[in-house]
């Protein structure tokens, strides 16, 4: 019989993991402190694009999945997986408060030989030096009596090819026993598992993955500006370069980066580098490049309209990525803020998001002086836009 497990955090990482684990035969307790989310999911409603309502309802009816805000369920579990956010604080520094709070709550109910797996992105050394002491804080257990593993999440919302089951998963452990237990758990529903020799190697690999993406997105955004000044189409340049069968990977221009990974994870690497006296100046430059992208498109809007004061501008798509409703760290917020500082009348349309920052999505067909395509969801019919001028953030040519 598969052991009972608890998955802490029922968002874009935790909910797919919980439901997939339940489908693999585990009895799963989903735990989340957001009472509205708990109520919604417990009635079978999915707020995640990758998890259908039908899958949730099926697992609730089977008795293999339940959700609450009650950490006491941890005492009944042999495996506890932490999938809580690790954002940046107001000073743009790593914020481990969610991990620390979760670990403290878990420690009140932790039993000997329970396996605790951290999937949240952290700087190297965090699992060993921060998580484990926090797990022992309110417990009478010794470090030898618990098993701790780190296995970074690799969730790409709406990716129909590389879902949770198909994406290779990195696994590491504080001890060999912990790593073996984690491998046994994940092997029930993930096809390929990659073992790491240490917690720190696994932690750093996650930061490398997303720093690689940040740097290359920043680079292609700079190339896009370069192509704009030349008057050539950057997408045709990328298409031509992509014919090289080795040594090249295509990245595409955008308004910048968003979501819970790419804008955040490289900062964890940069912050750790500062602590140990290592230089990662390329990451710091890439962060700046992406932060500057909304200003570039504001300047493009000015080149099309002249003064932006009292001009009616429709921003199309506010989620950080096409075909999802997630607005975390979306660069569209900086774009809208910057346009409004220029005294433009800014409206936005996004039927997937609907409500955001106290505002509601406007009609795609409102009359405007300029439409800016920020996030091109598949459902959006550009022919419905009522503007003679359209600016796309995905192309270098006006």
| Angle ∠(114,261,80) on CA atoms, nearest 5 | 10
Contact between 151 and 185 (Cβ < 8 Å) = no
Contact between 261 and 330 (Cβ < 8 Å) = no
Report the alpha-carbon distance of residue 104 to residue 68 in Å, rounded: 18
- Which positions are catalytic? 261
Report the alpha-carbon distance of residue 361 to residue 121 in Å, rounded: 32
The closest alpha carbon to 202, from 132, 266, 151, belongs to 151
Tally of residues, the chain:
398
What is the chain's Cα-based Rg? 23
Percentages helix, strand, coil for the chain (3-state, rounded to 5) are 40, 15, 45
3-class SS string, 311-341: CEEEEECCCCCCCCCCCCCCCHHHHHHHHHH
What is the separation, in whole angstroms, between the first and last Cα of the chain? 61
Distances (CA, A) of 58 to 6, 45, 164, 167, 323: 18, 12, 18, 24, 25
């Amino acid at each position: 019989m598969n052991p009972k497990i608890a998955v802490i955090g029922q968002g874009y990482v935790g909910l797919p993991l919980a439901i997939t684990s339940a489908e693999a035969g585990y009895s799963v307790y989903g735990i989340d402190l957001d009472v509205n989310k708990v109520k919604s999911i417990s009635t079978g409603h999915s707020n995640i694009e990758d998890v259908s309502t039908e899958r949730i309802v099926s697992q609730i009816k089977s008795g293999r999945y339940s959700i609450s805000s009650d950490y006491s369920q941890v005492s009944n579990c042999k495996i506890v997986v932490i999938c809580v956010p690790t954002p940046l604080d107001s000073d743009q520094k790593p914020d481990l408060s969610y991990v620390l709070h979760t670990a403290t709550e878990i420690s009140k109910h932790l039993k000997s030989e329970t396996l605790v797996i951290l999937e949240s992105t952290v700087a190297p050394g965090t699992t060993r030096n921060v998580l484990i002491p926090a797990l022992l804080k309110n417990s009478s257990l010794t470090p030898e009596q618990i098993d701790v593993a780190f296995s970074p999440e690799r969730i790409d919302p709406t990716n129909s090819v590389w879902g949770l089951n198909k994406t290779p998963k990195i696994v590491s452990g504080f001890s060999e026993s912990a790593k073996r237990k984690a491998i046994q758990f994940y092997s029930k529903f993930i096809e390929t598992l990659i073992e790491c020799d240490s917690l720190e190697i696994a932690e750093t690999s996650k930061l490398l993955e997303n720093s690689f993406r940040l740097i290359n997105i920043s680079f292609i955004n700079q190339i896009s500006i370069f192509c704009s000044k030349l008057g050539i189409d950057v997408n045709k340049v990328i298409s031509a370069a992509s014919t090289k069968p080795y040594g090249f990977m295509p990245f595409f221009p955008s308004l910048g980066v968003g979501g819970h990974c790419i804008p955040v994870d490289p900062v964890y690497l940069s912050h750790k580098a500062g602590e140990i006296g290592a230089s990662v100046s390329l990451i710091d430059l890439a962060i700046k490049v992406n932060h500057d992208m909304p200003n570039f498109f504001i300047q493009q809007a000015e080149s099309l309209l002249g003064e932006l004061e009292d001009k009616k501008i429709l921003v199309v798509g506010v989620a950080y990525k096409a075909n999802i409703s997630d607005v975390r760290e979306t660069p569209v917020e900086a774009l809208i803020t910057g346009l409004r500082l220029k005294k433009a009348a800014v409206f936005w349309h996004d039927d997937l998001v609907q409500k955001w920052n106290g505002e509601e999505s406007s009609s795609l067909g409102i009359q405007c002086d300029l439409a800016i395509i920020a996030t091109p969801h598949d459902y959006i019919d550009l022919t419905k836009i009522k503007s003679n001028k359209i600016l796309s953030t995905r192309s270098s040519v006006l």
